[in-house]
Amino acid sequence: MRSLSSRWTTIRQRIVSARLVLLCCDVDGTLARIADHPAHAQLPTGTKRLLRQLVGLPGFRVVFVSGRALADLKRIVGIQGAYYVGNHGLEMAGPSLAFTHPQARRARPRLRRLARQLSRALRDIPGALVEWKGLTVSAHWRSVPPSAHRLFHRRVEACVGSWRRRGWLRQRRGKRVIELLPPVAWDKGRAVTWLLRHLSPRGGAAGWWVIYLGDDRSDEDAFRVTNRLRGLTVFVGPRRVATAAAYWLKSPRDVQRWFSALQRAQSEAFASRREPWTGTN
């Protein structure tokens, strides 16, 4: 991976020349530091201010992509005019958009039952948290003491192993969390592709330059899709990580600094495109 700041001149030229820009951002670990409890996560004030300014620019669309439930994602971000992609792409909302994947909706009762079973199985493990997110389930072990890690994983496997083998769910790992999803061929990458088609009158990605920032395994699908579209992919976190992203930023603080430069470049590009007012009708 190359440092994003080291290529700023080239990237700035690409931003200025792009007619339409789709900025897609994961939230936890990318825009905000990962909190000990999901409910405690906060978007930095400076980052939110810059994103609001970007949302207001013509030809610029901002998308927040997360494993969080859609309602929870909107609560944390709280920026009007943006697009929200929750539950790893299974639900989306934004201007003239309300989407829930139909197969995920049908699988909801079964996964809700699993969430209850998993809560009972983990209730005596300190720090374990089972989060029912409306369409998916998360089993968090960030606050579980090291002495109980093995027990936590044994209990999760005992509870969900048979479901997985029967094809009733998909299981994937995140940062100290196990994600349990409906058995649907869907991910953040497919969600970005779907959203591009929704935003494009001709149903394709023509005219759009896509930027995707993420920090987790679940973002890799979106990195690969964005690379195929010749967009900009940015991994946020340690540099020595195997990832499909082409560029790297160290932390959410660096993301905020880059957004500041991005906002200036995009504002200048918009100002240069405006035709001078002649004062005549």
- Could you please report the per-residue DSSP string of 227-251? HHTT-EEEEES-SSS--S-SEEE-S
- 78 and 52 together in one domain: yes
Selected catalytic residue, list 26, 28, 187, 215: 26
Give the total number of structural domains in the chain: 2
- 85 and 107 together in one domain: no
Tokens of 140: 């968090």
pLDDT digits (tens, 9 = 90+) for 119-178: 999 999 999 999 999 999 999 999 999 999 999 999 999 999 999 999 999 999 999 999
Q: Give a yes or no: residue 29 inside a domain.
A: yes
Domain holding 162, by residue range, is 102-181
- 62 and 116 together in one domain: no
- 96 and 128 together in one domain: no
**pLDDT confidence of residue 279:** 41
Most distant CA pair in the chain, distance: 76
Q: Is 235:241 a contact under the CB 8 Å cutoff? A: yes
The Cα 281–Cα 269 span in angstroms is: 26
Name the one residue in this structure whose structure tokens are 């995920």. 104
Domain at 115, CATH number:
3.30.70.1020
pLDDT digits (tens, 9 = 90+) for 29-71: 999 999 989 999 999 999 999 999 999 888 899 999 999 999 9
Residues 6 or more apart in contact with residue 5 via CB below 8 angstroms? 249, 254, 258
For the question of residue 36 being annotated catalytic, the response is no
- 198 and 214 together in one domain: yes
Q: Which of 128, 159, 181 is the last residue of a domain?
A: 181
**Phi, then psi, of 50 in degrees rounded to 5:** -65, -40
pLDDT digits (tens, 9 = 90+) for 88-123: 999 999 999 999 999 999 999 999 999 999 999 999
Q: Is 164:171 a contact under the CB 8 Å cutoff? A: yes
Domain at 87, CATH number:
3.40.50.1000
Q: Which of 181, 199, 214 is the last residue of a domain?
A: 181
Gyration radius of the chain over CA positions: 20
255 falls in which pLDDT band (50, 70, 90)?
Answer: very high
- 93 and 158 together in one domain: no
- 191 and 52 together in one domain: yes
